[in-house]
Amino acid sequence: MNIQVGDVIKLKKEHPCGSKEWEVLRIGADFRLKCMGCEHQIMISRKIVEKNLREIVKKA
């Protein structure tokens, strides 16, 4: 998987604010993602991101 910091990704499930798009802020064993709708930040494991990834919307 070729995800870089700054990419915008779309996941299967939407955030409670209604947005499915997330900006990648940090990559490692965990990802730090920022919601594009409400700007809430989360840490989520790489395994879960890879499983729930739909598409890479915008490359950095």
Q: CA 3 to CA 40: how far, in whole Å?
A: 20
Is the pLDDT score of 59 beyond 90? no
Q: CA 32 to CA 30: how far, in whole Å?
A: 7
Q: Report the DSSP beta bridge partners of residue 2.
A: none
pTM comes to 0.89
Q: CA 29 to CA 19: how far, in whole Å?
A: 24
Question: Average pLDDT, stretch 15-22?
Answer: 95
Domain layout of the chain by residue ranges: 8-54
Is the pLDDT score of 38 beyond 90? yes
Closest CA to 32 of 20, 22, 44: 44
Question: Average pLDDT, stretch 6-32?
Answer: 96
